[in-house]
């Protein structure tokens, strides 16, 4: 998969959130991007990659995403337009 830059996922875009801690699991489908910032701009779980703020439906999902960001790796998948995803 290609690496995304912030122009690839504008505010309002839909992404799927995968977490890899002890194996990979799907945390959230169709999360809405609120904002994306350049690498090294800070935030929870940020390192050398881009920081993306997501709208999540509830506190439990926010906790799961935060835990995965701190403990492992978060992968965002942009759905293809053919699959009904917004680009």
Q: How far is CA 32 from CA 1, 6, 54, 71, in A?
A: 20, 14, 6, 22
Element (H, E) at 63: helix 59-71
Q: Which one has a higher pLDDT value, 15 or 7?
A: 15
Chain position carrying tokens 């337009």: 81
Does this model's pTM top 0.85? My answer is no
The answer to whether 34 touches 53, Cβ cutoff 8 Å, is: yes
pLDDT in tens, 17-64: 999 988 999 999 999 999 988 765 555 554 556 788 999 999 999 999
Specify which of 10-19, 39-48, 72-81 reaches the highest per-range mean pLDDT. 10-19
Residue 42: left if φ>0, alpha if ψ -120 to 50, beta else—which one? left
């Amino acid at each position: 998969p290609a690496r995304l830059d912030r122009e690839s996922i504008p505010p309002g875009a839909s992404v799927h959130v995968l977490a890899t801690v002890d194996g990979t699991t799907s945390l959230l489908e169709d999360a809405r991007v609120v904002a994306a910032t350049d690498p090294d701009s800070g935030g929870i779980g940020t390192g050398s990659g881009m920081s993306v703020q997501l709208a999540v439906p509830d506190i439990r999902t926010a906790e799961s995403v935060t835990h995965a960001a701190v403990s492992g790796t978060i992968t965002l998948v942009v759905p293809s337009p053919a699959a009904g995803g917004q680009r």
